[in-house]
Amino acid sequence: MPAMLIAYAGIVLLLIVGALAVLTKKTVLPQWMFACHTIIFQIIFVLIPDIRQALGAGISTWDFVLSQGSGNAALCIWMISNAVWAGRQIKRIKGEMN
């Protein structure tokens, strides 16, 4: 297990540095894109099953999927939002050139 902790430490470091870069305007992305960041959606997807259980709902397969697939789903949302933003930027730049 200690070998896995090294990998997780690197992943956490990359996520935090990426989030801080967006928040401090060190990237081309606007600050509002932090709302679509991987960290935000991972927290949301992991907390949904906990909130449901705290409210008395039974454990379901959907809870397991949300908690276990949170990293992949959050990354997909982050990549899609970046692609949409980049596409809009390209259209805006082409519109200004004409």
Q: What is the pLDDT of residues 68-81, one digit of tens each?
A: 888 888 999 999 99
**What is the C-alpha to C-alpha distance for residues 42 and 13, in angstroms, rounded to an integer?**
15
Q: Chain-wide mean pLDDT for the chain? A: 88
pLDDT of 87 above 90: yes
The pLDDT assigned to 32 comes to 92
* Higher-confidence position of 39 and 7: 39
Positive/negative CA dihedral, 35, 41, 43, 47 = positive
Q: What is the pLDDT of residues 14-32, one digit of tens each?
A: 889 999 999 999 999 999 9
Provide the number of structural domains found in the chain. 1
**What is the C-alpha to C-alpha distance for residues 37 and 42, in angstroms, rounded to an integer?**
9
Q: What is the pTM of this model?
A: 0.74
Identify the domain containing residue 72 by its residue range. Answer: 2-97
